[in-house]
């Protein structure tokens, strides 16, 4: 029931940062080679599409370099000033990188439109330019797979975003290759600029998708009703606990921060109420992994005071988030 949103097996911060470092180093080396190759050959063959593809690979290098910096932040333990730790730095960096990718795509679109308007088209692609496009496709496939695999192990938003970006890069390189083939067959000089324009649009689309993914976390949002059903099932499985309400869940770099209220018999002692809350907490941990913190507020049964925030059991069952 919960397989659609439960994270990978609980991972320690040390293991997370280890996988993130490995992914970043692989991406830096791989993308640096591809970027240099595409940009140099792109200028030699006067291919705006190949240069644009190289610029996109350069942004991937930047992403990976920033990832190495972020690893140092998220590995720091919580302190008095940052009681929730420093893991949100990864989310902020991912949002920032979406803007970097966006502006790279926008610049490519501007240059392509300028070439189409002024008639400043590029020459017919050389054999080496076509070969570089093929190498780029193979290289990006390997990089995308490595980033996806390591991002999944680390449960890292920024590595997963980079994997998605590199998967898009595969299509970009395919587009460049198609443009080369069209130009070589038809002899028209417009294909390269048009393909470069489409590549710019795809880069922007990728940037917006990455930002949309991290924006929900930055706003402490959660649009998955299945996650809230974990709370209901946990409360209903513990004798003496009832009416889960004022439920709120947010994700901090892959870790859940949960708070909600439950009702207990008003005749229960503080010790008994605490034991009930502890049982509910344990039941949640059985159902949901990667939990950072759970806060349960105890209220006497019959006290239905509305606080105007969070979700009730009825709202969750009625699919208020859908």
Going by C-alpha positions, the residue among 67, 65, 88 that lies closest to residue 76 is: 88
Q: What is the per-residue pLDDT for 15?
A: 77
Can you read off the two tokens belonging to residue 54? 């190289």
Per-residue pLDDT of the chain (322 residues), as tens digits, is: 333 333 334 456 677 788 888 998 999 999 999 999 988 988 887 777 678 778 778 878 887 888 888 887 777 777 788 877 777 887 888 888 788 778 877 877 887 787 778 765 555 667 788 888 889 899 989 999 998 898 888 877 778 877 877 887 787 777 778 777 777 777 666 776 777 788 788 878 888 888 888 888 788 877 777 788 889 999 999 999 998 888 888 887 777 889 999 999 999 999 999 999 999 999 999 888 778 889 999 999 876 665 667 777 777 777 655 5
Q: What is the per-residue pLDDT for 5?
A: 37
- The pTM of the full predicted model, rounded to 2 decimals, is 0.64
Q: What is the per-residue pLDDT for 9?
A: 40
Can you read off the two tokens belonging to residue 137? 């496709």
CB atoms within 10 A of CB 174: 15
Contact (Cβ atoms closer than 8 angstroms) between residue 280 and residue 234: yes
Own/partner pairs, 132-136, CB within 8 angstroms, 24+ separation = 132/37, 132/38, 132/41, 132/50, 133/50, 133/53, 133/173, 133/176, 133/177, 133/180, 134/177, 135/34, 135/37, 136/34, 136/37, 136/38, 136/53, 136/57, 136/169, 136/173, 136/176
Q: What is the per-residue pLDDT for 241?
A: 92
Going from the N-terminus, what domains does the chain have, and what CATH number goes with each?
A: 13-218 (1.20.1510.10), 225-317 (3.30.70.1350)
* DSSP E strands, 30-119: none
Going by C-alpha positions, the residue among 61, 9, 22, 20 that lies closest to residue 160 is: 20
Contact (Cβ atoms closer than 8 angstroms) between residue 256 and residue 217: no
Q: What is the per-residue pLDDT for 1?
A: 35
> How far is it, in rounded angstroms, from Cα 99 to Cα 93?
10
Q: What is the per-residue pLDDT for 119?
A: 65
Look at residue 319 and give its three-state secondary structure. Answer: coil
Look at residue 268 and give its three-state secondary structure. Answer: coil
Can you read off the two tokens belonging to residue 288? 């949901």
Q: What is the per-residue pLDDT for 276?
A: 94
Contact (Cβ atoms closer than 8 angstroms) between residue 16 and residue 156: yes
């Amino acid at each position: 029931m919960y397989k659609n949103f439960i994270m990978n097996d609980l991972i320690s911060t040390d293991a997370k940062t280890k996988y993130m470092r490995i992914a970043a180093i692989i991406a830096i080396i791989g993308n640096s080679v591809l970027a240099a190759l595409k940009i140099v050959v792109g200028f030699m063959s006067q291919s705006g599409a190949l240069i644009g593809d190289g610029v996109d690979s350069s942004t991937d290098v930047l992403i990976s370099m920033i990832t190495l910096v972020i690893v140092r932040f998220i590995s720091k333990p919580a302190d008095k000033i940052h009681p929730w730790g420093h893991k949100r730095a990864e989310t902020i960096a991912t949002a920032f990188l979406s803007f970097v990718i966006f502006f790279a795509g926008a610049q490519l679109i501007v240059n392509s439109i300028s070439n189409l308007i002024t008639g400043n088209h590029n020459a017919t692609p050389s054999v080496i330019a076509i070969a570089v496009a093929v190498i780029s496709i193979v290289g990006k496939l390997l990089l995308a797979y490595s980033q996806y695999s390591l991002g999944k192990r680390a449960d890292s938003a920024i590595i997963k975003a980079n994997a998605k970006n590199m998967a898009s890069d595969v299509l970009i390189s395919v587009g460049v290759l198609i443009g080369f083939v069209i130009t070589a067959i038809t002899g028209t000089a417009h294909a390269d600029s048009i393909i470069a324009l489409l590549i710019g649009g795809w880069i922007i689309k990728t940037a917006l998708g990455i930002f949309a993914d991290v924006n929900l976390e930055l706003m402490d949002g959660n649009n998955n009703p299945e996650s809230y059903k974990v709370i209901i099932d946990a409360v209903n499985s513990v004798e003496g606990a009832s009416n889960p309400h004022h439920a709120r869940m947010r994700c901090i770099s892959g870790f859940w921060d949960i708070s909600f209220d439950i009702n207990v018999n008003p005749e229960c002692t503080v010790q008994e109420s605490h034991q009930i809350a502890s049982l509910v907490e344990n039941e949640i941990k059985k159902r949901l992994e990667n939990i950072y913190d759970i806060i349960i507020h105890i209220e006497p049964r019959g006290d239905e005071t509305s606080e105007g925030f969070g979700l009730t059991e009825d709202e969750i069952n009625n699919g208020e988030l859908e």
